[in-house]
């Protein structure tokens, strides 16, 4: 079937691709009554339209046929068969000798990920890999992932980075089958960030062109830093006396420790903002880092520490639970 012979059965019936079987049946009955030859005697256009509507309904009302049609488009009839090019099948003069089956051709043509790489005897073999992260400049294998759009010629892969690589930017050498490409990841990548690599996607044997490869970043967990939205956050433990009296403490940031002054009376869970010490932003320099305070009492007190804590308890005038006496249902 030539590309120009493709029929959009959904458009013919006037339904969406998510239409239910009942919606498809209702649309067909309406159009069949409108264009039936008995209603339009001698009308060749109506007769052709009726055949077209009937053909569309025959495919879309059948679960298996509709599934193949949705997946393979104009090549749905050939899907699963030994090989195209038999009697009555016009494939536009394309040479399919390099493919072992029609599914092999479809997988490459429609941008199937994890798919064909040259194998023995001219046939295509399939392999996929899980993304791994090496040292900066080292090789990283990754596997293609289906983006759910069968006709696209672009592909997507996941690349895993640690926080240091993502913060500073890194150059990676990626192996695509037998091909090795160098990719520069700019500073400030986060989980979900995408990098477009032009001309490194699946090969289209009809257009003789390659699509694009999209690298989707996945950050490895860090023991101290985390993200909340676009903000870089961390949690820093402090002692009860530091919380009560205030203190000056050192806090790690992505590019080194900074000294932070704790105000007297800081509460556990309270966050302090470190302006310009967060994650690189694409256009706005650096974001902010938020330091969440966690008051941590000592577990093992010396005899002298216990003595002083008991004196503080005996002299304490502040009751943080005084307001609870007014709580009622």
Q: What is the structure's pLDDT at 102?
A: 56
**Choice between 79 and 199, residue whose per-residue pLDDT is larger:** 199
| Residue pLDDT, tens place only, 68-78 | 888 777 667 76
- Which residues in the chain are classed under CATH 1.10.287.110? 3-77
Report the DSSP beta bridge partners of residue 218. 160
Q: What is the pLDDT of residue 202?
A: 81
| 289, two tokens | 């880092």
The per-residue pLDDT for 149 is 41
What is the tens place of the pLDDT at every residue in 217-258? 999 999 999 999 889 999 999 999 999 999 999 999 999 999
DSSP code at position 66: H
Q: With residue 167 as reference, give the H or E element that holds it.
A: helix 163-168
Q: Note the CATH number of domain 226-316.
A: 2.60.260.20
Q: Can you tell me the distance from the alpha carbon of 301 to that of 312, in angstroms, rounded to the nearest whole number?
A: 14
Length of the chain: 329
Beta bridge partner(s), residue 286: 280
Q: How far is the C-alpha of 255 from the C-alpha of 289, rounded, in Å? A: 12
Helix, strand, coil % over all residues of the chain, rounded to 5: 30, 25, 45
Say how far apart CA 60 and CA 78 lie, in whole Å.
16
**Statement: residue 130 has pLDDT above 70:** no
**pLDDT, mean of residues 145-165:** 71
pLDDT at 220: 94
DSSP conformation letters of 265-315: TPPTT-EEEETT-S-B-SSSSB--EEEEEEE---SS--HHHHHHHHHHHHH
For residue 278, how many other CB atoms are within 10 A of its CB? Answer: 22
Please state, in angstroms and as integers, the Cα–Cα distance from residue 120 to each residue in 8, 99, 157, following that order.
Answer: 38, 11, 26
Contact 218/166 with Cβ under 8 angstroms? no
Give CA–CA dist 197/212, Å, rounded.
6
Contact, 227 vs 233, CB < 8 A?
Answer: yes
Provide the 3-class DSSP secondary structure of residue 158.
strand
The 10s digit of each residue's pLDDT in 9-66 is 998 999 988 889 999 999 999 998 888 888 888 888 888 899 998 998 999 998 888 8
Confirm whether pTM is higher than 0.75: no
Architecture of domain 3-77: Orthogonal Bundle (1.10)
For the segment(s) 106-219, the CATH number from 3.40.50.720, 3.90.1150.10, 2.60.260.20, 3.40.640.10 is: 2.60.260.20
Q: In terms of Cα–Cα distance, which of 79, 68, 72, 66 is closest to 18? A: 66
Is pLDDT larger for residue 276 or for residue 87?
276
Please list the residue range(s) of the chain that carry CATH number 2.60.260.20.
106-219, 226-316
CA distances from 159 to 43, 129, 148, 249, 302 (A): 60, 11, 19, 36, 50
Residues contacting residue 139 through CB under 8 Å, at least 6 positions apart: 173, 174, 175, 180
Per-residue pLDDT of 172-198, as tens digits, reads: 888 877 788 889 999 999 998 998 888
Q: What mean pLDDT, rounded, does the chain reach?
A: 79
The C-alpha atoms of residue 145 and residue 218 are separated, in whole angstroms, by 14
- The CA distance from 100 to 266, in Å, is 70
Q: Please, how many CA atoms are within 13 Å of residue 233, restricted to the half-sphere of its CB?
A: 12
Radius of gyration of the chain (CA): 32
């Amino acid at each position: 079937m030539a590309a120009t012979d493709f029929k959009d059965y959904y458009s013919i019936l006037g339904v969406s691709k998510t239409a239910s079987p009942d919606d498809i049946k209702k649309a067909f009955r309406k159009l069949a009554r409108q264009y039936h030859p008995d209603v339009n005697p001698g009308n060749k256009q109506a007769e052709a339209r009726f055949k077209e509507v009937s053909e569309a309904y025959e495919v879309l009302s059948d679960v298996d046929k509709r599934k193949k049609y949705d997946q393979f488009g104009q090549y749905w009839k050939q899907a699963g068969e030994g090989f195209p090019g038999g009697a009555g099948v016009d494939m536009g003069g394309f040479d399919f000798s390099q493919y072992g089956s029609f599914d092999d051709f479809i997988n490459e043509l429609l941008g199937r990920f994890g798919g064909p790489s040259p194998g023995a005897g001219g046939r295509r073999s399939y392999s996929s890999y899980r993304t791994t992260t090496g040292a900066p400049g080292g090789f990283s294998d990754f596997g293609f992932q289906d983006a759910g759009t069968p006709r696209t010629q672009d592909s997507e892969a996941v690349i895993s980075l640690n926080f240091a690589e993502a913060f500073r930017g890194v150059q990676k050498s990626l192996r695509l089958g037998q091909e090795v490409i160098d990719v520069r990841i700019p500073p400030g990548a986060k989980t979900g960030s995408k990098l477009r690599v032009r001309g490194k996607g699946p090969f289209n044997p009809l257009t003789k062109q390659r699509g694009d490869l999209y690298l989707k970043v996945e950050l490895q967990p860090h023991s101290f830093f985390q993200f909340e939205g676009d903000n870089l956050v961390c949690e820093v433990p402090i002692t009860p006396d530091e919380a009560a009296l205030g203190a000056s403490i050192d806090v790690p940031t992505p590019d080194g420790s900074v000294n932070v002054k704790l105000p007297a009376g800081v509460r556990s869970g309270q966050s302090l903002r470190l302006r310009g010490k967060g994650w690189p932003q694409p256009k706005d320099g650096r974001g902010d880092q938020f330091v969440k305070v966690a008051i941590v009492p000592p577990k093992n007190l010396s005899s002298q520490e216990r003595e002083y804590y008991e004196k503080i308890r005996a002299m304490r005038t502040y009751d943080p639970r005084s307001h609870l006496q007014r709580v009622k249902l």
